[in-house]
Structure 1
Amino acid sequence: MQKATYSLGNILSNLKIDALNEMQEASVAANQQPQDVILLSATGSGKTLAFLLPVLDRLNPDLKKTQAMIVVPSRELALQIEKVFKLMGTGHKITATYGGHLRETEENNLVQPPALIVGTPGRIGDHIRRGNITTDTIQTLVLDEFDKSLELGFQEEMVFIIESLPNVNKRILTSATEAVEIPDFVQLNEPQKLNFLPEDGIPQARLAYKQVLSPENDKVDTLFRLICHLGNRSTIVFCNHRDAVERTSTMLSEKGILNEFYHGAMEQRDRDAALCKFRNGTVNVLVTTDLAARGLDIPNIRYIIHFHLPHTEDSWTHRNGRTARMEASGTAIVILAPDEKLMSYVTEEIETIELPETAVLPQKPKWTTLYISAGKKDKVNKIDIVGFLTKKGMLKKEDVGLIEVKDFFSFVAIVKSKASHTLQLIKDERIKNKKVKIEVAK
């Protein structure tokens, strides 16, 4: 098989990485052997690149068929992997497939088979049943966060997918936990296990643990005072149930804390908008369920607040894994009601935060997010949006923040103080000669 002519140096440069870490080097070396590989490594340690490089090494550039498949438990993880692979700049096509995305759009993307497909079990299974994926040329199968897929009840779909891939000769499984037994249907071949999990779950030096004692069983006022105390920093608040997420978000809003909520029952566009506003700094507080405990690639999250105590040690580990990623530091904070005790598996030294009597609202973020009803399928890209806003909206480049372009719509952060004037200027203008709806994102 002819190897692709790509340079590791170029890939690392495109990803703005100086060198592979020890875990990534070990994965590349292990995957050059014929055996399957199980890679255990903490959330945020760089597992995505650790399996994408071996996958890339196995792609034949002359074969215009799908050669590799990555199965993931969530759409966010699929999108993160797609983004990293595209940034690598290999010339190979990747397509992400997931629920909540128009199947027709994905079918169009699959007409010319991508070298690599990444997606959630339900949607991949659907495409296989409809004959949209050529399965007999797939030789590499990655099950990323495989334990979570099994936990979320995807076992039946996983069995179907694996049985539909007759010519797979390399399997790579990754996880951030060692707790799960790998079922026989995965058909592992004498796997090498690479265990880079820290003995205590998460490196101590980068993650601090603290607690706040709430004087009342209703902890919302304590949460409000804590956020005021922490100030204008990127914070995720974890609740155990969807209704609690919305209730907590509403009560914080009523007290003057700008925030977004995020859970699995939301419409896809609303989920995209919430994450985008959190990523781009329009809000600094995200109230969510454990849906956000994996697969969200949001840099520089400073605080994790456990408003509800996690049900399991695994949940504790993954929630905390949203912060202190790579070389950054972070703090995990547990709020305890009078009748609650710290979980028995928390063995770390916990410092108690004493909150000031007077709560002062944090400074409001300087950004707001605009929704634009045009995206990739309308041939609109980030450069088009920056050009439009600077030329027609009279903004300077530094007034334009993070831009996210989806298939049929886009989000862009702009300086809040200029939003009203800019919207007036652009309300009747066209992007790429197309009349589009532009408004402050709901």
Structure 2
Amino acid sequence: MQKYASILNAFKIDALNEMQIASIDANQKADNVILLSNTGSGKTLGFLIPILEQLDKTTPGTQALVIAPSRELAMQIEKVWKTMTTGFKVTCCYGGHLRETEENNLLEAPALIIGTPGRLGDHIRRENIKPAGIKLLVLDEFDKSLELGFQDEIEFIIESLPGLKKRILTSATEAVDIPGFVGIEEPVRLNFLTEEKSEALAIKYVESEDKDKLDTLFRLVCFLGNRSTIIFCNHREAVERTNSFLKDSGLTSVFYHGAMEQRDRDAALCKFRNGTSNILVTTDLAARGLDIPNIRYIVHYHLPHTADTYTHRNGRTARMDASGTAILIIGPDEKMPSYVEENPELITLEDKYELPEKPKWTTFYISAGKKDKVNKVDIVGFLTNKGQLKKEDVGLIEVKDFFSFVAVRKSKAAHTLSLIKNEKIKNKKVNIDVAK
């Protein structure tokens, strides 16, 4: 431990914890390490010390890359590295940061680069990052990167690293499937997860006097306000009926199930992710694997048939140390399912509530995508130049193979649409309209 004395002193700690010591030891012996540990457990030091031990002061250029799912996490990792006072240059790259500043920082290649998938991929494409010398890759909070839909970008980055020899992957969940493109073979697996995170999930219930629970659902959604909410139904017909009822009642909602056309499914999920709608009505198709972050409420409109379904539905919220609430609607002929082990809290609803505030975003559909060589930068430039929008008026952009969706501030949408309807993107005539 004496060799890490300066690091311990910098962080004012007496010793490394068990997880950090295990990670350092594993990384000294193995090329592929999977570190499972709760957020806030000190895993950043658990992979930064192994990076430091791998860096060579006599080797020019970038030697290590850390990919994080959010700019906040990327900045936090950079702060920890700088506190370590390693003597090695570091650069942090993330969306919302001036690209010109990052380009200047990358001119003299840093030994370590930390960043978010989109911005790192952009720099590699622009040849601002020279990837040939990168031998070590860390994918931090990889489960969240998959949840947020960064798989394509991460795959591109990894394919751009011809000299990659060592991989460290961290995750806050044991269940994450690691795609083959990551290239982790025969990894050492360190599991320091605890059950504490589940305490962030609250279980509540509401009683419906009517067998048809729609009125109860409407009052519940108004009671909850305009927070991100997924409503689960057991079959497709109920999804569409419930969504129609909520919309007819003045709420903004979208629906999602397996019988929809792919473009309609993409549009619904995009509207939910980008804040055009705070309510998603869905079947259990959305209970697993969808990249939908920051869900506040799960509503079981229909009670799940199995404990497994109940668990997976609830797994959409209270993720990554965020709090969340699952609410069961119990009809007059229903009982609390036996698989609900907690002691749920009863929500008592009033007869009338005001409608929640409407979302401030709308979604544009653009008939051009990756196959047309259109990317997010092109769309932002198009909307700010031709559509006279400020950057803060452009929200989440999702570029698919043949079309794209972009969130635009609702107050500016009509004027912008009138300006861009007949304009071209990359000299290509495209159809642009409010997404259906």
TM-score of the two chains, using structure 1 as the length reference? 0.62
User: What SS is found at the alignment partner of 2:230?
Assistant: strand
Aligned partner of 1:196 among 186, 193, 196: 193
Aligned equivalents of 2:374, 2:339: Cα separation in 1:
50
Q: Which residue of 1 aligns with 2:152?
A: 82
CA gap of 1:93–1:78, structure 2 versus 1, over 3 A, is farther
Q: Which residue of 1 aligns with 2:320?
A: 326
CA gap of 1:193–1:326, structure 2 versus 1, over 3 A, is closer
Aligned partner of 2:241 among 247, 251, 260: 247
Q: Indicate conservation of the 8 Å contact 2:23/2:190, yes or no.
A: no
User: What SS is found at the alignment partner of 1:218?
Assistant: coil
Q: Larger radius of gyration, structure 1 or 2? A: 2
Q: Indicate conservation of the 8 Å contact 2:38/2:192, yes or no.
A: no
Q: Shift of the alpha carbon at 1:380?
A: 1.5
Aligned equivalents of 1:335, 1:405: Cα separation in 2:
37
Q: Which residue of 2 aligns with 1:170?
A: 185
- After superposition, the C-alpha distances for 1:100-145 in whole angstroms (9 at most, x for unaligned) are xxxxxxxxxxxxx9999xxxxxxxxxxxxxxxxxxxxxxxxxxxx9
What is the RMSD computed on CA atoms of the aligned residues?
Answer: 4.8
CA gap of 1:27–1:220, structure 2 versus 1, over 3 A, is farther
Aligned equivalents of 2:230, 2:21: Cα separation in 1:
32
Between the two proteins, the alignment pairs up a number of residues equal to 338
TM-score of the two chains, using structure 2 as the length reference? 0.63
| 1:367 pairs with 2:361 | yes
Q: Which residue of 2 aligns with 1:393?
A: 387
Gaps of 5+ in 1: 1-20, 63-75, 95-112, 117-144, 150-160, 163-167, 173-190
Aligned partner of 1:272 among 231, 242, 266: 266
Mapping for residues 37-436 of structure 1, pairs under 5 Å: 79-84=149-154, 91-93=157-159, 170=185, 194=191, 196=193, 198=195, 203-204=198-199, 206-436=200-430
Gaps of 5+ in 2: 1-16, 52-63, 66-130, 133-145, 165-172
Opposite residue 229 of structure 2, the aligned amino acid is: T
CA gap of 1:437–1:148, structure 2 versus 1, over 3 A, is same
CA gap of 1:280–1:78, structure 2 versus 1, over 3 A, is closer
Opposite residue 227 of structure 2, the aligned amino acid is: R
CA gap of 1:406–1:24, structure 2 versus 1, over 3 A, is farther
Q: Shift of the alpha carbon at 1:342?
A: 1.4
CA gap of 1:315–1:276, structure 2 versus 1, over 3 A, is same
Q: Indicate conservation of the 8 Å contact 2:398/2:404, yes or no.
A: yes
Aligned equivalents of 2:302, 2:236: Cα separation in 1:
12
Q: Indicate conservation of the 8 Å contact 1:42/1:321, yes or no.
A: no
Percent identity among equivalent residues? 64
Opposite residue 393 of structure 1, the aligned amino acid is: G
Q: Indicate conservation of the 8 Å contact 1:259/1:285, yes or no.
A: yes
Q: Which residue of 2 aligns with 1:104?
A: none
Q: Which residue of 1 aligns with 2:82?
A: none
Q: Shift of the alpha carbon at 1:198?
A: 2.0
Aligned equivalents of 2:258, 2:176: Cα separation in 1:
15
Aligned equivalents of 1:252, 1:218: Cα separation in 2:
14
Q: Shift of the alpha carbon at 1:378?
A: 1.5
Aligned equivalents of 1:30, 1:241: Cα separation in 2:
47
Aligned equivalents of 2:163, 2:235: Cα separation in 1:
39
